[in-house]
Amino acid sequence: MLQTEHPVLRKFYYPVIPMSELKDGPKPITMFGQPLVVWLDEAGKPAAAVDRCCHRSAKLSKGTIRNGSVVCPYHGWAFNGEGKCTYFPQSKLENPPKVYKIKAYRCEERYGYVWVALEEPLTGIPEFKRFGEPGFRQIHEFYHVVNCSGLRMMENSFDNAHIAFVHHNTFGDNNDPIPAEINLVQNEWGFEMFSEINVTNKLNKEVKAINVESDETVRTTHSRWFMPFIRQTDITYPTGLVNSIVTCVTPIEEGSCMLTQFVFRNDTEEQVPAEKVIAFDRAVVAEDLEVLESTEPNVALDVTQRLETHMYSDKPGIVMREMLLKLLESHGERETLPQLNPPQLYKMEILDPVKEQ
C-alpha cells in the first residue's frame, strides 16, 4: 500500500499541528502530498485551506492574519475559513468577486491539536481514554517528521516481539525474547488489544522515577488502534501509575509522516516533571525509529501475495493489513504491491499465523 495513493485514507481526521504553534500566524503543513495553510480565525478556532493563493499561486502560509482571515503576502487578498475571499485591497468593491476563493478543509481543535480531514470523514476524531478524567494531566511529547510509513509505525506500537531487541537499553530484556500473549478484539474502525508485559528499567535513575520503584515490573496494557494511523496504549503499573500514550502518524509523502505524541498521566509535575517523561519516551521512540526508518515504506496489505513472512505475535499487524485491505476494496481501490528485488515469494505455510494457534 502506498499511503498517499489512496483517496479513502483521506477520509479520516489526522492531527496536523499543535494549537500552540499557531499563535504567531499561519503555518504550512503537508498531508498526503497536499500543502496546506493552517491558521486561527477570529474566535481562535483553527482553519485549514490549500496553501496556494488563487491569484498568482503565492504560499498563503507566508502571509499574515487579518480579522480571522489569512492574508496573501503577494497582493493582500484575504481568505476566511471557508476559503472565501473576504478582502480585496485593489478594489473599492464591498464584496470581492465570488470566483476569488480557495479550497478549504474540515478542521477541528481537539486535545490541543488541529485535526484536518481532507475528504468527508468516515468516522470522527478518536475519543481517547483518560482525557478529562479527574487526576490526569496531559503532556505534549513530540511533533516531528519520521521517515517511515504510517503502517510500519502503527504495527510497531502493537508488536510485543520487538521489545526485547529494539528496547533492551530502555525497558526490554534481550534475555527474555518470548513475546507477551495478547488478547485482540476487533471493532468497526480498529481493534483493542490487552496484554501483560514484563519490562525492565535500564535507562537511568531519572527514568526509574518515572515508571516504577524496582528494576523490573509489569505493564498491564490496554491498547487501541484507530484506523488508519492512530493508537493509544494505556499502561497501568502495579503502583497504580497510569501512563496512557497517544501516537498519531499523519502521512506527509510516501515514506514520511508527522509524528504527534502526547500522554495522559495520573501523577503530578512535582512527582515526575514532564521533561523526564518526554526524555524517556524520546529514548524509546529513537530506538524504534533507528529500525523503522530502515524499513520499506510500501507495506503489502494482502498477505496472500507472499511478499513478507509472519509469525504468531504479528497478529495485530496482520489484522491491520486485513482491515485496511478491506477498507480499500470497499471503496473500489487496489493496493500497489511492492516489488521485491530480487523477486521472491515466501512460503505460504508460514504466512498464516492463525493456523499456528
Choices 42-50, 68-76, 242-250, 320-328; region in contact with ligand FES by CB under 6 A? 68-76
Taking only Cα atoms into account, the Rg of the chain, rounded to an integer number of angstroms, comes to 22
Picked from ligand FES, Fe ion, none, the partner binding residue 72 (CB below 5 to 8 A depending on kind) is ligand FES
Residue 288 within binding range of Fe ion, rule CB under 5 A: yes
Residue 184 sits at the vertex; the CA angle it makes with 298 and 177, to the nearest 5 degrees, is: 75
Number of residues that bind ligand FES (CB under 6 A): 8
**Cα(248)–Cα(15) distance, integer angstroms:** 7
Cβ 52 to ligand FES shortest distance, Å: 9
Question: Can you read off the three cell numbers belonging to residue 253?
Answer: 509523502
Question: Can you read off the three cell numbers belonging to residue 3?
Answer: 499511503
Number of Cβ atoms within 10 Å of the Cβ of 213: 11
Residue 346 within binding range of ligand FES, rule CB under 6 A: no
Residue 53 within binding range of ligand FES, rule CB under 6 A: yes
Beta strands 85-87 and 216-226 are unpaired
Residue 184 within binding range of ligand FES, rule CB under 6 A: no
Picked from Fe ion, ligand FES, none, the partner binding residue 312 (CB below 5 to 8 A depending on kind) is none
Cβ 287 to Fe ion shortest distance, Å: 7
Interface pick for ligand FES out of 30, 74, 236, 329 (rule CB under 6 A): 74
Cβ 40 to ligand FES shortest distance, Å: 20
Cβ 100 to ligand FES shortest distance, Å: 9
Cβ 279 to Fe ion shortest distance, Å: 16
In DSSP notation, 45-58 reads -EEEEESS-TTT--
Picked from ligand FES, Fe ion, none, the partner binding residue 136 (CB below 5 to 8 A depending on kind) is none
32 sits in the region (left: phi over 0; alpha: psi -120 to 50; else beta) called: left
Q: Which is nearer to ligand FES, 74 or 142 (CB)?
A: 74
Residue 56 within binding range of ligand FES, rule CB under 6 A: yes
- SS3 string of 239-298? CCCEEEEEEEEEEEECCEEEEEEEEEECCCCCCCCHHHHHHHHHHHHHHHHHHHCCCCCC
Choices 19-27, 54-62, 181-189, 220-228; region in contact with ligand FES by CB under 6 A? 54-62
Residue 58 within binding range of ligand FES, rule CB under 6 A: yes
Choices 73-81, 130-138, 201-209, 275-283; region in contact with ligand FES by CB under 6 A? 73-81
Q: Which is nearer to Fe ion, 141 or 288 (CB)?
A: 288
Cβ atoms of residues 151 and 228 within 8 Å = yes
**Cα(321)–Cα(353) distance, integer angstroms:** 13
Choices 70-78, 132-140, 220-228, 297-305; region in contact with ligand FES by CB under 6 A? 70-78
Cβ atoms of residues 49 and 104 within 8 Å = yes
> Measuring CA to CA, which residue among 236, 253, 256, 254 is closest to residue 245?
236
Residue 51 within binding range of Fe ion, rule CB under 5 A: no
Please identify the residue of the shown chain whose CB is closest to the bound Fe ion: 288
Picked from ligand FES, Fe ion, none, the partner binding residue 288 (CB below 5 to 8 A depending on kind) is Fe ion
Beta strands 190-200 and 183-187 are antiparallel
Residue 79 within binding range of ligand FES, rule CB under 6 A: no
Sign of CA dihedral 125, 126, 131, 137: negative
Q: Which is nearer to ligand FES, 102 or 197 (CB)?
A: 102
**Cα(329)–Cα(334) distance, integer angstroms:** 6
Cβ 231 to ligand FES shortest distance, Å: 40
Q: Which is nearer to ligand FES, 71 or 182 (CB)?
A: 71
**Cα(145)–Cα(277) distance, integer angstroms:** 20
Residue 276 within binding range of ligand FES, rule CB under 6 A: no
Question: Can you read off the three cell numbers belonging to residue 324?
Answer: 485496511
**Which residues are near Fe ion by CB under 5 A?**
288
- Under the rule (CB under 6 A), what is the footprint of ligand FES? 53, 55-56, 58, 72, 74-75, 77
